[in-house]
Amino acid sequence: MTARWAIRIASILVAAGLWQVLTATDAVLWLRFDRLPTLDEIAAEAVRRLATPLYALDLAQSLIRILTGFGLATVAGIAAGIALGRSARTRDVLLPLLEALRPIPAIALVPVAILLFPTDEQGIVFITFVAAFFPITVSTRHAVRALPTLWEEAVKTLGGRRGHVLRHVVLPGILPGVFGGLSVGMGVSWICVISAEMISGEFGVGYRTWQSYTLVDYPAVIVGMLTIGLLGWLTSAAVELAGRRVTRWLPRAERRTA
**Burial class of residue 31 (count of CB atoms within 10 Å of its CB; 0-12, 13-18, 19+):** exposed
Phi, psi at 32, each rounded to 5° = -105, 120
Check residue 258 and give its pLDDT: 46
Check residue 151 and give its pLDDT: 67
Condensed to tens digits (0 to 9), the pLDDT of residues 100-151 reads: 988 988 888 888 888 888 888 888 999 999 999 999 999 999 988 887 777 6
- pLDDT bin (cut points 50, 70, 90) of residue 251 is low
Question: If we measure between CA atoms, which residue out of 47, 22, 48 comes closest to residue 36?
Answer: 22
Q: Provide the residue count of the chain.
A: 258
- How far, in Å, CA of 36 to CA of 41, rounded? 10
Residue 257 has pLDDT above 50, yes or no: no
3-class SS at 28? strand
pTM of the predicted model as reported, rounded to 2 decimal places: 0.84
Buried b (16+ CB within 10 A) or exposed e, 86-109: beeeeeeeeeeebeeeeeeebbeb
SS percent in the chain: helix, strand, coil, step 5: 80, 0, 15
- How far, in Å, CA of 5 to CA of 238, rounded? 18
- How far, in Å, CA of 92 to CA of 29, rounded? 56
Close Cβ partners of 241 (under 8 Å, ≥ 6 residues apart)? none
Q: Domains of the chain, with CATH numbers?
A: 1-36 (no CATH), 37-250 (1.10.3720.10)
